[in-house]
Structure 1
């Protein structure tokens, strides 16, 4: 069964198989690259803040008493969160909840709302757990991160849509 056929028949939740893992991985790669390109190339190029998401991951790991070197920060941000965590959240939590309450329909609005939710989670929640100021005191990095997380959500779901086409 092809990826598009398996996911088209999935109902509320996708099947737990290698097609779904591949979908999450590929969509996560493109979305994370878009997030990092925005936050580390475009935004600073415009004179705005430079995102350093591995720094937040390092702070969180350190606050939890875990190893928090550069490798750990990059590994957590890119692999655990970008390639699997956020795609899992979309496929198994947000999208099913959205469809239960709003219904099936387009993908652009829910993906942007999901990205906004990721921003609230990361910049509003994880920063607090990591011992950093709430929403990073609403400095420039806060707003660059908002755009980055919404962009992540949109790119991730757009890639999933393209990969699902027959």
Structure 2
């Protein structure tokens, strides 16, 4: 079923509700798995703990001059729920379908996760916030790489499963 932004059925600008719901659910699941891996499993295994909220707060402070309590958590959540999924749906998937349709989607998801890692630790952390590129290639760098790949693969698997239902 398609609805427009006012909730009426069959309009000139239909929004496939099932697709939006699948994207939001897959983004939520992938964000939870990313946080579980980076903030619990990795430290339990003796590796670095991810701090995505710290980077989000740094971004907010750089862009707006200050941050408020909860803003970093909200930004981190919105990026995982909406931002990264839109990058997959609107950029990565169409490009891969057009340029490399023979490549399995799991490999495209791994490449997308690496792209997310570059975006987070080079573009955002370095260019926007002013931290060392890739956080100086410390332990957190490699946990973040795995975490972003885990995010992308989790999103792919969850979204594809939901779309098949």
TM-score exceeds 0.5:
yes
Q: 1:118 aligns with which of 107, 111, 116?
A: 116
The runs of at least 4 aligned residues of structure 1 exceeding 6 Å deviation read none
- Asked if residue 27 in structure 1 is aligned to residue 26 in structure 2, the reply is yes
Q: 1:86 aligns with which of 84, 87, 112?
A: 84
Greater RCO (Cα-Cα under 8 Å, separation 6 or more): 1
Q: CA deviation at 1:105?
A: 5.4
CA distance in structure 2 between the partners assigned to 1:69 and 1:112 by the alignment = 34
TM-score, normalised via structure 2 length: 0.87
Secondary structure of 2:74's aligned partner: helix
Contact (CA 8 Å) 2:57, 2:72: kept in 1 or not? yes
- Which has the higher Rg, Structure 1 or Structure 2? 2
Residue of structure 2 equivalent to 1:10: none
* Mapping 1:16-55, distance limit 5 Å: 16-55=15-54
Contact (CA 8 Å) 2:19, 2:163: kept in 1 or not? no
Q: CA deviation at 1:68?
A: 1.8
Contact (CA 8 Å) 1:57, 1:76: kept in 2 or not? yes
- Asked if residue 140 in structure 1 is aligned to residue 139 in structure 2, the reply is yes
TM-score, normalised via structure 1 length: 0.87
CA distance in structure 2 between the partners assigned to 1:132 and 1:35 by the alignment = 22
Equivalenced residue count is 153
Shift in CA distance, 130/84, structure 1 to aligned 2, threshold 3 Å: same
Residue of structure 1 equivalent to 2:5: none
Q: Is there any run of 5+ residues in structure 1 with no aligned partner, and where? A: 3-14
CA distance in structure 2 between the partners assigned to 1:99 and 1:113 by the alignment = 14
Deviation per CA, 1:41-63: give whole Å up to 9, x if none.
11000111111101000001101
Q: Is there any run of 5+ residues in structure 2 with no aligned partner, and where? A: 3-13
